C-alpha cells in the first residue's frame, strides 16, 4: 500500500525545550534539572508531549510527561488549546473516579517559559496500541496477542467509559460545558460546525462533510439522552496498558466535554473501525472480531444498565468529526509543502468511502 508521508508532529526543537524547561523547573523545585528528554514517536499533532526525567535528590516524581499547547505559529490542528482546562479535567477524574489517570504536578499558564502554556504529570509505564502502523496491522504487540488477551483489554477499555460516565458528578464538570443553546448534544454538534468552518476558511470545502452535517440534522435523536462527562477522545490508542492487558493510564483529555454517553461509545466504535477498514483495504485481515460495535454496546449496557441508542447517528458523527480533523491535518501538510494543493478536498479524507456509505445507509 502506498501512503502519504507521515505529517510532522512538531516544529519545536527538543533540546531547546529541555534547556528552557530546566530553567522553569528550578522555579518550582530548586536545583532540579530536566534530563533525558525525548519526543515520543506517537506524539500527536494537537497538544505536544515531551517525556523527561527530573534530576533532583528528592523529586515528587522521577519520570514525567509534559503536555504543551500547540505552537500557534505552526498551523495548529485546533484553534484553541486550553491547558488549564485539561489539567482541571485530569484532577477532577482523579478525585472523583477510580480510573487510572496520571498524577498531575504543575500547571504553567504563562507562555513565556516554553512558548505556550503546559502542565507536567507523571509518566505512565506500559504499552500503547500504535497508530502508525495501526495496531490492526501485523507485527505489533496487540496484533500478536492471544484472543483472550485482547478480550481482556477490550473489556477493561469499555469499563473505563462506564466508570467515567457513572462516577463523575456532572455538576462538578460544568466547566466543560459547550457554550450555546439547546441540549448538550446540539451544542456539541454546533461546535463541530464552527470547527469545520475554521478548517476550511480560505481552503476548499468538503462536500462529504457537509452532506454528513445535513444527514445529522435529518436524523436527529428524538431524545438526546442523559448528559455525562465524556472523555472525548475515547480510543484504545489513548490508553497505556500494563503487561496483563489492564489499563495503567488514561490519557489525552483535551476533547473532554459534557454530552450523551453515546458520544464516547460512537467514538470508540468508529476509531477502531477506521483502522480496521484501512487494514482490510490494504489486503490484510486486521482484527475483525475485536472491538465490534455489538460487543461494545452489550458490555456497556451490562455495566451501566444504560442501553446505547441512536448509535448509527453517533458512529456517523464520530466518522464526521474524524473527517474534519483529517482535513485539517491534510491542510497542515499542504501548508508545510508536504503534499500538493488538492483538486478534490474529499480525496484528503481516508475514510471518505466509509462516510459516504454511512450517509447512504449501507455501511453497517
Quick one: pLDDT at residue 10? 52
Q: Which residues are catalytic?
A: 233
343, 345, 347, 350 alpha-carbon torsion, rounded to 10°: 160
CA angle at 13 for the pair 72 and 126, rounded to the nearest 5°: 95
Quick one: pLDDT at residue 11? 57
CB 89 within 8 A of CB 256: yes
Name beta bridge partners: 228.
Answer: 259
Quick one: pLDDT at residue 41? 67
Record the cell numbers describing residue 170, joined without a space. Answer: 456532572
Quick one: pLDDT at residue 2? 37
Record the cell numbers describing residue 343, joined without a space. Answer: 483538486
Angstrom distance (rounded) from CA 259 to CA 17: 36
- Domains along the chain with CATH numbers: 14-122 (3.30.200.20), 147-360 (3.90.1200.10)
CB 278 within 8 A of CB 3: no
The pLDDT profile of the chain, 364 residues, written as one tens digit per residue, is 334 444 444 556 778 888 999 999 999 999 999 999 988 765 445 678 999 999 999 998 899 999 999 887 788 999 999 999 999 999 999 999 999 999 999 999 999 999 999 999 999 999 999 999 999 999 999 999 999 999 999 999 999 999 999 999 999 999 999 999 999 999 999 999 999 999 999 999 999 999 999 999 999 999 988 999 999 999 999 999 999 999 999 999 999 999 999 999 999 999 999 999 999 999 999 999 999 999 999 999 999 999 999 999 999 999 999 999 999 999 999 999 998 888 899 999 999 999 999 999 999 9
The conformational region for residue 230 under phi > 0 = left, psi -120 to 50 = alpha, else beta, is beta
Quick one: pLDDT at residue 43? 41
Amino acid at each position: 500500500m502506498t501512503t502519504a508521508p507521515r505529517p510532522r508532529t512538531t516544529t519545536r526543537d527538543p533540546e531547546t525545550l529541555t534547556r528552557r524547561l530546566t530553567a522553569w523547573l528550578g522555579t518550582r523545585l530548586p536545583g532540579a534539572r530536566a534530563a533525558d528528554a525525548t519526543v515520543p514517536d506517537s506524539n500527536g499533532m494537537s497538544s505536544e508531549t515531551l517525556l523527561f526525567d527530573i534530576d533532583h535528590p528528592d523529586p515528587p516524581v522521577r519520570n514525567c510527561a509534559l503536555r504543551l499547547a500547540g505552537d500557534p505559529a505552526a498551523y495548529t490542528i485546533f484553534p484553541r488549546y486550553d491547558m488549564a482546562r485539561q489539567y482541571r479535567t485530569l484532577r477532577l477524574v482523579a478525585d472523583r473516579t477510580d480510573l487510572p489517570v496520571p498524577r498531575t504536578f504543575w500547571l504553567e499558564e504563562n507562555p513565556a517559559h516554553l512558548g505556550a502554556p503546559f502542565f507536567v504529570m507523571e509518566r505512565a509505564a506500559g504499552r500503547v496500541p500504535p497508530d502508525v502502523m495501526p495496531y490492526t496491522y501485523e507485527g505489533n504487540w496487540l496484533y500478536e496477542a492471544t484472543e483472550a488477551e485482547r478480550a481482556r483489554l477490550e473489556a477493561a477499555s469499555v469499563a473505563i467509559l462506564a466508570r467515567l460516565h457513572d462516577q463523575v458528578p456532572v455538576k462538578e464538570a460544568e466547566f466543560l460545558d459547550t457554550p450555546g443553546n439547546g441540549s448538550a448534544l446540539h451544542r456539541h454538534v454546533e461546535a463541530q460546525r464552527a470547527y469545520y468552518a475554521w478548517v476550511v476558511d480560505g481552503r476548499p470545502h468538503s462536500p462529504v462533510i457537509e452532506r454528513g452535517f445535513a444527514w445529522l440534522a435529518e436524523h436527529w435523536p428524538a431524545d438526546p439522552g442523559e448528559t455525562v462527562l465524556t472523555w472525548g477522545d475515547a480510543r484504545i490508542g489513548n490508553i497505556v496498558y500494563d503487561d496483563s492487558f489492564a489499563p495503567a493510564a488514561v490519557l489525552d483529555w483535551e476533547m473532554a466535554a459534557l454530552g450523551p454517553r453515546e458520544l464516547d461509545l460512537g467514538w470508540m466504535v468508529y476509531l477502531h473501525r477506521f483502522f480496521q477498514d484501512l487494514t482490510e483495504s490494504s489486503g490484510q485481515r486486521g482484527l475483525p472480531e475485536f472491538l465490534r460495535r455489538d460487543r461494545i454496546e452489550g458490555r456497556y449496557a451490562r455495566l451501566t444498565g444504560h442501553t446505547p441508542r441512536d448509535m448509527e447517528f453517533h458512529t456517523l458523527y464520530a466518522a464526521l468529526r474524524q473527517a474534519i480533523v483529517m482535513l485539517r491535518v491534510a491542510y497542515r501538510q499542504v501548508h508545510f509543502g508536504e503534499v500538493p494543493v488538492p483538486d478534490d478536498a474529499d480525496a484528503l479524507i481516508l475514510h471518505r468511502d466509509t462516510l459516504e456509505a454511512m450517509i447512504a445507509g449501507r455501511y453497517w
